[in-house]
């Protein structure tokens, strides 16, 4: 097992299982996440016999950064994992802090029509260590502190549920990376049973729903998941989540030119979300050479925004990132692998 996949509780149980005091777990976490050492041998306040046992039972490897693109307020990274698979992460500089968009799988099986990641099928889930390392390596590379994490990169987080929950515990742990729960967002395309399970986790983590269409006919065309869980079922699960957690939900809506950007769509969306403790995040589409969808015109986006506002729907337009880089999710990975 990679040591970066271990929660603090995992390590406490581990040390008790080898007849050592469980406080050693805090010492190891301090070395990993505060002092940021990358070798067990550098953990100088832990006796050698324990270090040797740790080295026998755990690995401490991290992925490699193999490509980096820099744009205005954005850094896009491509990582190579131990098995040579590749994933991306994107750091976005906001006025409220540094937000990292983390990948959760190698490829994705959700098959959303507009998504570059879904064009490349899922090869495997990421381990917690491979998600945690995206944060650690970028913080080290840029000498910064990442304050917000969004699980919205390559992959569907709820299709890798157990590993994602462990990742959240590790990065939220005060003895670990120590990112506040309310600064962590999990985005799902709408796997209803997992939304219901997530509601029972008793976390202060944010939930975002990738919606992108206000009716079943259009969403069926854009997102295969809607053929399994229709909008009525999805919205019902979201309502249950809000009641159970008393937390607001974000609905992400990518603006696609002449597809889902009409006034009619805006009115349908307003009706669908009426009365929900939620807000809509309108996202300008990042175009890619592999997919024919185009970004909605700016004036069309603002008209859509105005319709939602007039219908008392909380709405924002996300700041555009990455026009100078391979901005679409999975695009840098696709370009790199096809060129090499």
Q: Where in the chain do CATH 3.20.20.70 domains reside? A: 64-339
Q: Which residue in 119, 120, 135, 114 sits closest to 86, CA to CA?
A: 120
329 is catalytic: yes
- What percentage of the chain has pLDDT greater than the value 70? 93
pLDDT tens figures, 280-309: 999 999 888 778 899 999 999 999 999 999
Segments of 190-323 assigned E as strands? 206-210, 249-255, 278-284, 314-317
Q: What is the pLDDT of residue 339?
A: 53
- The span from the CA of 191 to the CA of 112, in Å, is 13
Q: Where in the chain do CATH 1.10.150.530 domains reside? A: 3-57
265 is catalytic: no
Among 88, 116, 252, 287, the one annotated catalytic:
88
The CATH homologous superfamily for domain 64-339 is: Aldolase class I (3.20.20.70)
Domain range 3-57, its CATH number among 2.40.50.660, 2.130.10.10, 3.30.420.10, 1.10.150.530? 1.10.150.530
Q: What is the pLDDT of residue 288?
A: 82
pLDDT band at 228 (very low <50, low <70, confident <90, very high): very high
pLDDT tens figures, 88-125: 999 999 999 999 999 999 999 999 999 987 666 899 99
Contact 160, 126 (CB under 8 A): yes
Among 112, 189, 265, 329, the one annotated catalytic:
329
Task: Say if residue 200's pLDDT is above 80.
Answer: yes
According to DSSP, residue 20 is labeled -
- The span from the CA of 104 to the CA of 101, in Å, is 10
For 94, phi and psi rounded to 5 degrees? -110, 170
Q: What is the pLDDT of residue 102?
A: 98
């Amino acid at each position: 097992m990679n040591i970066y996949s271990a929660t603090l509780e995992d390590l406490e149980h581990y040390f008790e299982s080898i007849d050592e005091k469980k406080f050693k777990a805090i010492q190891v976490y301090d070395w990993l996440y505060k002092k940021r050492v990358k070798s067990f041998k550098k953990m100088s306040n832990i006796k050698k016999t324990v270090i040797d046992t740790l080295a026998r039972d755990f690995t401490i490897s991290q992925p490699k950064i193999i490509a980096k693109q820099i744009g205005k307020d954005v850094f896009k990274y491509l990582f190579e994992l131990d098995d040579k698979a590749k994933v991306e992460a994107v750091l976005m500089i906001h006025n409220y802090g540094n937000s990292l968009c983390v990948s959760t799988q190698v490829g994705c099986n959700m098959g959303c029509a507009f998504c570059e990641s879904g064009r490349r099928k899922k090869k495997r889930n990421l381990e917690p260590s491979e998600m945690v390392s995206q944060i650690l390596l970028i913080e080290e590379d840029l000498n910064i502190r990442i304050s917000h994490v969004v699980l919205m990169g390559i992959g569907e987080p709820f299709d890798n549920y157990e590993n994602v929950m462990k990742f959240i515990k590790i990065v939220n742990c005060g003895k670990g990376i120590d990112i506040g729960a309310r600064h962590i967002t999990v985005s799902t395309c709408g796997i209803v049973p997992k939304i219901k399970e997530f509601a029972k986790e008793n976390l202060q983590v944010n939930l975002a729903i990738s919606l992108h269409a206000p009716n079943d006919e259009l969403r069926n065309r854009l997102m295969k998941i809607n053929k399994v869980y229709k909008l009525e079922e999805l919205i019902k699960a979201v309502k249950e989540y809000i009641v159970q957690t008393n937390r607001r939900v974000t609905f992400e809506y990518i603006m696609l030119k002449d597809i889902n950007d009409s006034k009619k769509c805006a009115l349908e969306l307003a009706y669908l979300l009426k009365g929900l403790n939620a807000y809509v995040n309108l996202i300008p589409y990042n175009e890619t050479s592999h997919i024919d969808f185009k970004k909605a015109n700016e004036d069309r986006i603002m008209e859509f925004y105005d319709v939602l506002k007039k219908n008392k729907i909380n709405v924002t337009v996300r700041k555009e990132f990455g026009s100078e880089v391979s901005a679409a999710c999975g695009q840098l990975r696709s370009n790199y692998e096809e060129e090499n």
